[in-house]
Structure formats: structure tokens, C-alpha cells
Structure 1
Amino acid sequence: MSSNVNIKLNKNIILAVTGGIAAYKSAVLVRRLKDYGFNVRVVMTKGAQAFITPLTFQALSSNPVHTTLLDPEAEAGMGHIELARWADLILVAPASCDVIAKFAQGLADDLLTTLYLATKAPVWIAPAMNQQMWAAKATQRNLKTLTEDGMHIIIPDAGEQACGDIGRGRMPEPEALAEQVFEYFKTQERAYTQQFGLLAGKKVTITAGPTREAIDPVRYISNHSTGKMGFALASVCYAAGADVTLIAGPVTLNTPYGVTRKNIVSAQQMLDESMYMLNQGCDIFIATAAVADYRVAEIAPHKIKKTGDTLDIALIKNPDIVATIAQQEKRPFMVGFAAETQNIEQYANGKLISKKLDMIACNDVSRTDIGFGADENAMTVFFAKKYDFDQRQLEKASKLKIGEQLVEAIVDALNTKS
């Protein structure tokens, strides 16, 4: 299953099942579509019911199954016109040779063919049939007609078929079909947010996670940062229409959908990647990473052996990444983060001024419920004086929700920038 499954899309899908042995795959397809957050209603032809029962699909979809065009009970509730209007997409899987011919001829002699003519939603078909039936001139002629009419044809897989033949005609696996539907809607959503999203057209660079500073080949200096806040922000920025690059220290998190990820280890590597992104064009720089303040002056080429009760290691200061970026001539909008355990407002405002930031978000990592590794956060946001904003208090919420509020704060500041 794709890692994208954690992104939910509230879209209405009609899954139409026609007669064919591949109908058993459609039961799994219902589950995979629901995994992506789709609302699924199932329409079955008479032929489909010879292979699998409506009760199966009712249990899997948690919705009544539609089987008859002139069903008095259905017409009193969701009739065929309402059903056609409800759908954001109709997926016919499997699509038999017979129903493909009916679609091409514009027939409307059952519920499915009527829905096809009555809907404004896109219609996709996943043909499944014997390899010779797929290759037949009549079938290919019908498919050409449907393609010209704007229908999306999912080319069947090749392989061994239930009849024993080998060739093209197998319905693709449910996981592949569900992911194609997901990608279609994500592309639609992305096109919208790139035009109308809060960060439409903006290039955003985010640093996240810890850095590791080597002592010798097996030891390093680091901290407890997990990168969760930065990864949540990357996801939110992408959803808001931005082109997002995430520079990540050593963490075990999955890359957010649509985000370009660059993995680094040390503070110097993070600075190098940050400068590269600045030179590529960066509108907003968000520094959530917990960068090690110091590194070892001289890394031992071999593992340091235990020779006494104490060990002296000389440390030198690491570059201040966010301050370095803020000092550049082509300076992006700068957002800093401060993880403090005391005097939060004093330290945050000090960093805001000394590092020449536009905005800084500060949290109290002495609290175990919102500190490193927690799934929730609570932050106080401070703005540079030129924005004439009061500080904002972000009450405890999921890091994704905190990320949404931070993006709103960034947009508010950008819209009033002098």
C-alpha cells in the first residue's frame, strides 16, 4: 500500500461491477478506496450478481448496493438521477465486453448504462475479459469511440487468465486501481491549490529534525528532535499550494506527499543545502530543525578507546543556519523556531531580533506532552516589530493543526509586509 494512504480525500466514488470472474477483485477494491477516505457506493449489473453477492459489497462499503434501475425503494431514497449527481467519479471495474459495447452505442437499458448517460462525473473503465475478446476489432472499435467521448480507459494487464489463456485482458490489481483514483484527485486538488491556495506559487524551504556531529566513526553529538513539527509543516505548506523542499536530519518519518526531501546529517550539510535552495529561489524559509550548537573540533579517525575516567573533547561552534540565511542579500521571509525550557518570551524575542527574523515560534520543551517526540504542540508566535502584530498564542493541538495556524500567521505577515 502506498504511503499516500495517510492522506484522506472526501470524494464520492461509484464502483460499478459487471459480470466477470474479476468481480472478486472488486470486493478488495472497495476496501482500498475506503482506505484513501473515499465514500463508496456500489452498483452491480445482473451479470455481476452471478459471481458475487450484493451483501458482500454492502458490508464492505457500509452503504446499500444498487442493482435495479426501477427499484421503488431506491427511487424513494437515492434514485438513479440522484446517484448520478452524487458521484465525483464512476469507476467500472471490471468492465465486461458487453457493457463496453452498450456504452459505445449509448444504450440505457439498465441502471449502470443509465448512470453513464446521466452523470457529469468522469467515467473510468477497467476492462476485464478473455484476451481474444479484448483483441477483437469490435471491442477495439468500441474503446476508440469511448476514448473519443472522453472516457478514461485503464489498459488491462497481461498474464494467465481464468480460462487458461495467456494474454492481455486481466483487470489490474485493486491496490493499483485505487492509487490511480487517488492520484487523479490529488492532481486536481494540487492544480486548485497552486492557483488559489494560501501559499500558491511560493517556494518554501523547511529544515527539520536533529543534526548529528561525529565524534569518531561510531559516536556523535545530537538531540531528541524527531522532526515531527517540520514534517507536519511541510505537509501543510504543500496543501496550501507551495513548492516545498524539506531538508531533513536523521529521522524515521515518511516523506509528506508532494514534498521534495533532502537528507543530511551534520549542521554544515544542512547549511550547504539551505544555501543551495536559497540560490535556486526561496520565498519562505522555515527553520524547525534542532541544529547542534557545537561540533567536535577534530573527529577521531578511529573509535576512541576507553583509557581513563575522563575524556576531554574540544568543541567548536556550528554555523547558525537561520541567521546566515537571514543575512543574505536575497533574503526570504524568515521563520525561526525556539525550543526553550524557561524564560520563553525573553529568549524568543532575543532570537527574533539578533537573528533578524520575521517571525519566531517558540514552545516549552520541558513539558512532556508537547516536547520532542510528542504528536501535539502548543506555541507562542512572535513577530518582528515592522508587522505591528500582537503575539499569537497557539493552544495545544495536533502538530498538523499547529502547522495550519502557523501557515495562516505567515500569510497574514506576508500580506502586511512593508
Structure 2
Amino acid sequence: VFDPELNTMYVGVGNGSPWSAKARSPKGGDNLYLGSIVALDPDTGKYKWHYQQTPADNWDYTSTQPMILADIKLAGKTRKVILHAPKNGFFFVVDRTNGQFISAKNFVDVTWAKGYDKKGRPIGVAAARDGRDPDAVPGPFGAHNWHPMSYNPNTGLVYLPAQHIPLAMVDDPKWKFNEPRPMGYGSGTGWNTAITIPAEPPKSQPMGRLLAWDPVKQKEAWRVEHVSPWNGGTLTTAGNLVFQGTADGRFVAYDAASGKKLWESPVGTGVVAAPSTYMVDGKQYVSIAVGWGGVYGLSGRASDKQMPGTVYTFALGGTAKLPEFVEYRMGKLIQGVKYDPAKVPEGTALYVANCYACHGMPGVQKGGALPNLAYLDPGYIENLSTFIFNGPATSRGMPDFTGKLTDDQVDAIKAFIQGVADSIRPQAAQ
């Protein structure tokens, strides 16, 4: 984000690779500039200052989420600040003239740190870092991800899409750079996380909500609970409205001061983007680009409707008809694929390394922008090699596993997919 008055550009910096700080930097250290806000001279690129929000990041806590520049009154004095809510779950107020830490307060439940000291350094929780508590909160999807937040100077509140998506993680002591590792999360597709997913599922619960946050008091003013994580960015207006699209396929307007719902419209599928408002010939419009996806949206969804990417525009007195919404075509749990039950353990490890990050857990999730493999026609899984070895979907982003997996390993993955479907079938039938 750029401040023309101070002629300063502020850059939010991402995480390191691998995710595991111990594997990345076995001798320790903060890994300078990771998880930081860095201030630069836009004319020369010269460094001005930085503030590191997550030293030695261990959980994929990027600081690339949108920043807001605001002038707010603190202790009776107006200060030029950056308002920022990165993935690590804390809301930061930082002096944008010099990078001085002012305050930080968690806006969701947090287990990796107890808070921040007066110097702006996190007070870490050892069990979260050393793996004794693998269920770090927030998880690597973040307490706030790409979805923009907005600030209303009339109410003094920030409107923030907050969330938690559980994913337990432990360090992989046998990790090597660029080496596919059974149970190494995403390692078969080039991810270098140096973590594995433990057999015990996370205890934390998923959630998604819209928060109205007071950056002066560093506390929540009101909230709206949503049915799922991964809701869209927010827009707030001078008319004291807050607009947000939701994961379950709605576009909603709230009272900016109270959070009362004032209006909503179905939009057919989940929303990730933030809305925009503008005037044409004296008439105000609000537009929203609707489409489901993103890293979580690949494998999970909250809507039973499926739509192509669509831009909706709303105005007072608008009379256009909404398009027809299409139901997801989901068959029954896959049945009848022949497999050797003895290959299921091997298939589990291979699935986590190669398939889980995009397709989710077979039969447990419904699928998102990509299909859940346990709801496909059995013919797809019976002929899985045809699709993963330079298959027809490679032109649309599907990795080509030629030379990375053997036919025997593909058979093990097939055994895992059908085995999981068979194991959950009684519950699914109830």
C-alpha cells in the first residue's frame, strides 16, 4: 500500500520455506523480514524500516494480508497508523511514520502466543512450536487470509473476515528439500513444508465470522457468525453500511454501527472477493465478483450451488432477474472399485503427499472447486492412471505425476480412496 503524504510504500512479506522453522533454520534466529511489514522509498527502493509480526514463523503465517492506512486518535493524540490483521490471529496498530509498535490484540482464539510484549515481540507458547501441541490455532489457512477488510472513519471500526480451519501439523524429522515423502503434506506436488499430518485429527473447530473491530480499544464491537470459513472481503460505505459475500452463496448488507442485517441476495455460489461501489450519472452501484476457490476452496465448500465466475451489480430500484443457479452434481459414495485392503496404509501416506491438499479427504468433505474423489464415478478411480499420468486435466492445472508415482503406488491410492469410502458408508447412509 502507498502513502503519498509520506512517500512511502509498505510491503507485507510472506512466510518461509519450509514451513517448519526448525528445518528451515536449525540454528534458530528470527529469519529477518519474514512475516513483516517493510517500509520502502518507492522512488529508490531504499529501506526505511520494518516491523516483524511473526519472528521465525513456524505455521505459514504470512503478513501479506491487505493493510489499511488511517489517522486515529490514541491517548488524545492523532497518529498516522497501519491497521493490519495477518494470518497469525493478532490485530496490529503500527505507527506508519517510523514502524513503532503501538498495540496488538488477538481477534480470534490463539494458541501459538500469549500476546505481545511492550517491544512488539510475541510471547510464544513452547508447546505450539516444539510439536507437543500440533493443533496450532489459527491453522495455516490463517485467522484472516486474502479477503480484504475495510475501515469506516465514521464508526471508527474495521470490518474483518475472521476464520479458523483446523489442520494439525508436526515436524517431519526425515524431510529433505524437494523430496516426496509419504505423509509429507503436499510433498509430491513440490510443496516443501517439512511437516506431516498426524493420525489424530485436530481438536479445534472450524469457524467463520464477520467481526467489527475497534482498533483504538483493541476489542470486538460486534460479530456475525457464518456457517463456514472462507467468507468474502468487506466493503463499508459513507452511508454506514457493510457489504460482504459469504461462503454459502449470499451477498449481505449490515448496519455498520450495530451489525444488524438489512438486506441480502442469493448469488449462487460462495464468494471470496470484496465488493466495490461507484457512481455513474449520479446513481450508486455495488458490484461483486462471485466465484468459489482459493486454497481452502479447492477442496471444501459451504454451498450446494455451482456457478461460473459471475459479476453481479446492484442498485436501488434494480429490476434485473438473477441467473439460474445450478446444483452441484454429486453422486453416491464410490463403490465397487476392487482393491487390496493391505495397501490402504501405503495409500494413505501417498494420498497425503500427493492428493490431499487439493482434493481433500475422500467422502468426508464434499469437494470444492475441485471434485472429492470419493464422489466420482467408479470408472475414474478404476482408471486413475489415465488421469494422473499426463491426463486430460493437466492443461487445466492438474499436476502430471509421470515419473513421480508408479503403477503400484497408484493402486495403493485407489485402495485408500475406496477403503475410506467403505469405512464411512454406514454413517453416510444414516
For the criterion TM > 0.5, the same-fold answer is no
**If each structure's strand is expressed as a fraction of its own residues, which one has the higher value?**
2
Higher-Rg member (1/2): 1
**If each structure's helix is expressed as a fraction of its own residues, which one has the higher value?**
1
TM-score by length of 2: 0.24
TM-score by length of 1: 0.24
